[in-house]
Each structure stands twice: as structure tokens, then as C-alpha cells.
Amino acid sequence: MKIICYGVIKMEEKIIENWAQKNQVEIKIVHDDLSADNAGLAQGFDGVSSEGNLPVGASVYEKFKRYGIKQLSVRQVGVDNQDLAAAKKNGIKITNVAAYSPRAIAELGVTDAMYLLRKIGIYQDRMDHGDFTYDKSTISTEIFNCTVGIVGAGHIGGASAHLYSALGAKVLAYDPVYDASLEPYLTYTDFDTILAKSDIISLHTPLLASTENMIDKTAFDKMKKKPILINVARGGLVDTQALIAALKNGQISAAALDTLADETDFYDKKNMLNSLPEDYKELKAMPQVLITPHIAFFTKLAVKNSIEIALNDAKTIISGGEVNSVVNL
Ligand code: NAD
């Protein structure tokens, strides 16, 4: 069996090689993420795995169909960059890795919240200028005195609720799907109550037509406590222009963004500061905004699990078996 693995970074190679050896599968490693430009490399392979950070369209699945490939195993939770319907039409089963380490993402969200709450970025900037002062603008709040609003209490939102409640915060959550096991850690409520009552709002829904721009001007207008907004889910959940306005007019006090609405041109690239779109440049320049380059998933355990689970699923499908991670049935 031969599998081609796109979007592999150097440190992942050893994990892939170990899996290949253990499973007697031949693997070709490609460092670039899967795209229309490099989909042709898959010819002659039985299956495909990729990171999913770049948009993949119908032409890629059409090529796979011609090559006799029947699956694409994405090593991520989010499959918003895949055209699921086009893949289905071409007989390509897309699988994701629903939970490789929800704690990895949840821990970055909590770290960001603490960083912004305690104004670490502002103090770091002052230290860079030899400024040892503190003042009214940098006074903080203890996290145990905060109300945290989780939007989307699935794997990652649930793990975030565990962490915040362990720190003593009051945790509210909005999710149309009820999970009784989370009751010890959070109180379910509606979206508007989350917006009105939270000091920290943490987003953990997938990017869907129904969640795109769910944090827009109307939502910011309902935020009453000048909250910190944490987005370690998908940039498209937040209307960027409305976010900039809310930061400027003080409707929210700070924001942490691990994901931006369109990362296609700069994801995992260097020296991008001057080529960033104007709105991201504006966000980047704000002292109360923390941007990280979509690395919430990037822990040793998460990387190992995402590779092994995706490749196990690829192998099972290629061998004619069934997996429960197919997202475009
Ligand atoms: P999940 O499917 O376990 O949970 C998502 C939850 O959102 C579900 O409980 C669902 O019912 C809920 N939901 C759906 N629509 C909603 C709405 N309109 N309002 C409120 N809740 C809604 O997914 P997860 O594993 O927790 O991951 C969540 C998202 O995090 C992923 O889809 C992905 O986009 C993102 N993510 C980001 C990174 C990163 O590195 N930054 C890594 C992994 C996942």
C-alpha cells in the first residue's frame, strides 16, 4: 500500500516513518499542503493524507478520482477548507481527526486569556523601553473573579470549561447540543446571555454557514462587560471590521486570535508583515491584540495523535474497511 502525505513539517517526518514501518505502508512525504498545483503528485498512490489549512476545490478531487483514489484523510478537526460536496461527487471520502488533543487547543485559549488579563504584552513592551511603571490602564482582574462564556461546548469548548472552572471562574456555555457530562463545569445558557454577562468570551464552534461572522457588530453591541475575546477556532467566526471597531471604541478590552479569516496567503510563511492585508496590519499594531499563527494544535501529543489517527483511517478505507470519521457521507 502507498500513501502520499502532504503538508508535512520536518519534525513530523519521524512520526510518519515510524507509523509506516509499523504498518508496512510506503509513504511519500510532501512538505507543501495539498493544492490544485501539487495534486498530480498523488498519481500512482492508493491514498492521500494532508493538513487542511489551504482551500481544496473540485479539481483536486476530480484528479484523485482519475487516479483511483477513494479517500483524503485530513489531519485536523476543521474541514472548512474542503469542498465536501465536490469530494462526495467524485467518490472521495474525507475524514478528519475529531479529537487529537482538545486540551492542546483549550490550554492555548486559557494561556491567551491570562496573558491579556494580566496585560503581559503591554508590560513586555514597556520593559523593551526600560519602563518599569504600572498605572490605572494596566490594572488587572483575577481569573477566579471572571465569568467565562464558552460558545460551542464540544471537545475543545468542554476542555476549556474544565480548565476555567478549575481556576475558579464562573463558566457559562452556549451550544445547541446538550452534554450532561459538562454540567459540573459549566452552566448552559443562551447566546445573548453569554454576550452580555461574560468577561471572557471563548469561541469553539466549527466554521459553518450558520456560524460564519457570528461575532459581528450586532454581537459586539450586546457585550456589556468589555470582555476579552478569544478565538482559537476559526477566523471566519468573527467579522474582522466589526472586531477592529469594537477594539477601537472599547466595546471589548482585548482579543486573542489564533486564526484569521483568510490565512491562505501567509499560513506558515515567513516575512509576511508587509504583505498582510490592511485589516490584519491594523489588528497586529494594537497593543491589546495578541495574534498567534494558528498553532493552538501544535503540541507533541496533538501532532503525534493527529498523524497516527489520520493514517490509521486512510489505511482502513484503502483496505475496504469502514471508519466513523468520514465527514461527507
Ligand atoms: P466539536 O465538534 O467537538 O465541537 C463543536 C461544538 O460547536 C459542538 O458541540 C456543536 O454543537 C457546537 N456548535 C455548532 N454550531 C454552533 C452554534 N451556532 N453555536 C454554538 N455552538 C455551536 O469540535 P472541537 O473539536 O471542539 O473543535 C471546534 C473547532 O475548533 C473546530 O471546528 C476547528 O475549527 C477549531 N480548531 C482549531 C484549532 C487550532 O489549531 N486553532 C485546532 C483544532 C480545532
SS3 163: helix
Protein residue whose Cα sits closest to atom 44 of ligand 1: 77
Q: What is the ipTM of this complex?
A: 0.99
CA–CA dist 160, 154 (Å, integer): 10
Residue 162 Cα to ligand 1 midpoint, Å, equals: 16
d(CA 27, CA 11): 16
Instruction: Give the right CATH number for 2-100+300-318 from 3.40.50.720, 3.40.630.30, 3.40.50.300, 3.20.20.120.
Output: 3.40.50.720
CA–centroid distance for 231 within its chain: 8
Query: Whole-prediction pTM value?
Result: 0.93
- Report the nearest-CA residue for atom 15 of ligand 1: 205
Residue 148 Cα to ligand 1 midpoint, Å, equals: 17
**Under 8 Å between Cβ of 205 and 213:** no
Q: Are 4 and 45 contacting, i.e. CB atoms less than 8 angstroms apart?
A: yes
CB 53 within 8 A of CB 293: no
Instruction: List b or e across 38-59, with b for residues whose CB sees 16 or more CB atoms inside 10 angstroms.
Output: bbebbeebbbbbbbbbbebeee
CA of 158 relative to ligand 1 center, distance in Å: 10
β-strand partners of 255: 229, 289
Q: Where are the beta strands (DSSP E) in the chain?
A: 2-5, 26-29, 47-50, 71-74, 93-95, 147-151, 170-174, 187-188, 200-203, 228-231, 254-257, 289-291
- At 313, the amino acid letter reads D
Domain 2-100+300-318 matches domain 102-291 at the CATH topology level: yes
Select the CATH number that applies to the domain covering 102-291 from these four: 3.40.50.720, 3.40.50.620, 3.20.20.70, 3.40.190.10.
3.40.50.720
Residue 302 near residue 7 (C-beta atoms within 8 A)? no
Which atom of ligand 1 approaches the CA of 76 most closely? 43
The ligand 1 atom nearest the CA atom of 298: 40
Q: Sign (positive/negative) of CA torsion 323, 325, 328, 329?
A: positive
Closest by CA to 140, choosing from 169, 111, 168, 120, is 120
Task: Count Cβ atoms below 10 Å from residue 161 Cβ, excluding itself.
Answer: 26
Task: Just list the catalytic residues.
Answer: 234, 263, 294
- For residue 275, what is its C-alpha cell? 504583505
Q: Which residue has a Cα nearest atom 11 of ligand 1?
A: 177
Pairwise CA distance, residues 26 & 186, whole Å? 46
> Which ligand 1 atom minimizes the distance to the CA of 296?
40
pLDDT tens for the chain, residues 1 to 329? 999 999 999 999 999 999 999 999 999 999 999 999 999 999 999 999 999 888 999 999 999 999 999 999 999 999 999 999 999 999 999 999 999 999 999 999 999 999 999 999 999 999 999 999 999 999 999 999 999 999 999 999 999 999 999 999 999 999 999 999 999 999 999 999 999 999 999 999 999 999 999 999 999 999 999 999 999 999 999 999 999 999 999 999 999 999 999 888 888 889 998 899 999 999 999 999 999 999 999 999 999 999 999 999 999 999 999 999 999 98
Strands 254-257 and 289-291: parallel
Decide whether any atom of ligand 1 lies within 6 Å of the 177 Cβ.
yes
The per-residue DSSP string of 70-124 comes to: -EEEESSS--TTB-HHHHHHTTPEEE--S-S-HHHHHHHHHHHHHHHHTTHHHHH
Residue whose CA is at the smallest distance from ligand 1 atom 22: 152
**Residue recorded with cell 482582574:** 141
Give the Cα separation of 287 and 121 in Å (integer). 7
Hey, CA dihedral for 221, 227, 228, 230, is it positive or negative? negative
Cell digits for 276? 498582510
Q: If DSSP codes are grouped into helix, strand and coil, which group holds residue 319?
A: coil
Cell numbers given for 292: 498567534
Nearest residue to 246 via CA among 238, 235, 237, 257: 238
Does the beta carbon of 236 lie inside 6 Å of ligand 1?
no
The single residue listed with the C-alpha cell 476559526 is: 234
Q: Is the CB of 305 under 6 A from ligand 1?
A: no
Pocket lining: 229 vs ligand 1, CB cutoff 6 Å: no
* Ranges of each domain in the chain: 2-100+300-318, 102-291
Please give the Cα distance from 180 to 169 (Å, whole number): 19
Cell numbers describing residue 125: 513592551
User: Residue holding cell 450586532?
Assistant: 218
User: Is the shortest distance between the CB of 174 and ligand 1 below 6 Å?
Assistant: yes
Q: Which residue owns the Cα nearest ligand 1 atom 18?
A: 211
Cell of 178: 446538550
Nearest CA to ligand 1 atom 4: 154
Ligand 1 pocket member 296 (CB < 6 A):
yes
Q: What is the pLDDT of residue 265?
A: 87
